[in-house]
Amino acid sequence: MHDLIFKNLTSFDRKKRVLLAFERFNKDGVFTEKERKFIYLIREVSSANAVLDPPQLFVVKSVDSMTLQERFFCKIKASLYVQNKKKLFLVRFRHSIRIKLFNNLPEPS
The C-alpha atoms of residue 59 and residue 94 are separated, in whole angstroms, by: 13
| pLDDT band at residue 72 under the 50/70/90 scheme | very high
Residue 105 has pLDDT above 70, yes or no: no
Rounded percentage of the chain residues whose pLDDT exceeds 90: 47
User: CA-to-CA distance for 73 and 54, rounded, in angstroms?
Assistant: 20
Q: Which pTM does this prediction carry?
A: 0.77
Residues with Cβ within 8 Å of residue 27, at least 6 apart in sequence: none
